[in-house]
Amino acid sequence: MKLKPEELKEFLDEKYQLYNNPKFIESDPILVPHRFTKKEDIEIAAFFAATLAWGQRPTIIRNAIKIMETMDNAPYDYILNSNKKDWKVFSTFVHRTFNGVDAAYFMQSLQHIYKEKGGFEKAFYHAKDMREGLIQFRKVFLGKHLAGRTAKHISDVSKNASAKRLNMFLRWMVRNDKRGVDFGIWKTISPSILYCPLDLHSGRVARKLGLLKRTQDDWKAVDELTQNLRKLDAKDPIKYDFALFGLGVFEKF
């Protein structure tokens, strides 16, 4: 599909308006953090929902809600006040390759981030380049021992991983367009430096529209796609994630 730059922007702006709509929340993992109102509860619920976001969306939502229920639907309070003995309750949890060992490590790391690092947002903070912010977060989250098997659940962009789930989580936390979908509760990170979440659907659409030439869904592709989206909107390029994903999932574009 060949469109002139101005036609492409008009087309994607129209789809962004269509799919950046609260009515789509109920079928999306972002439903889980929308069950909460406290900033820290939203962050934690969003992080687990994003981490589990591969596979069938109803299963993702169901399992993320299960984790929240195990934390008594008060995730921040649970993180601050629980210990290794409490985390054994997750021993039977399984979502694809994410299991109880991983859940317990996540609890420990989040507790460290909130108690010792000044909160979730500071663990990601980078003023100019979110790629560096992702690298920094991975080091903070995994610690010196790299968490054994759990390390694979925190993408390593320095090794060319696409980091789809982390980029999606950051979109939820940072973008603030008051449309009722993304939360915009993180104020120190500019939406202009975010990178577009890239998956099978958005990648296919992006290639059809000429926004992406690279055939592999890796960090180089994420960077290429995001640079092209910044040409359409330098201040808020990742808003087009709504358009790309919606076209792919709902319109089979």
- Comparing C-alpha atoms, which of 180, 183, 161 is closest to residue 170? 183
pTM of the model: 0.95
Report the run of H or E that residue 125 belongs to, with start and end: none
Average pLDDT across the chain, whole number: 94
CA distances from 180 to 2, 31, 148, 205 (A): 32, 11, 38, 25
Please give the pLDDT value at position 144: 66
Domain limits at 159? Answer: 5-249
How many domains are contained in the chain?
A: 1
**Residue 54 confidence class, pLDDT cut points 50, 70, 90:** confident
Per-residue model confidence as pLDDT tens digits over 73-121: 999 999 999 999 999 999 999 999 999 999 999 999 999 999 999 999 9
Per-residue model confidence as pLDDT tens digits over 7-28: 999 999 999 999 999 999 998 9
Task: Return d(Cα 171, Cα 192) in angstroms, integer.
Answer: 11
- Comparing C-alpha atoms, which of 113, 72, 73, 70 is closest to residue 88? 70
**Residue 31 confidence class, pLDDT cut points 50, 70, 90:** very high
**Residue 128 confidence class, pLDDT cut points 50, 70, 90:** confident
> Are 46 and 33 contacting, i.e. CB atoms less than 8 angstroms apart?
yes
pLDDT at 146 over 60: no
Please give the pLDDT value at position 125: 86
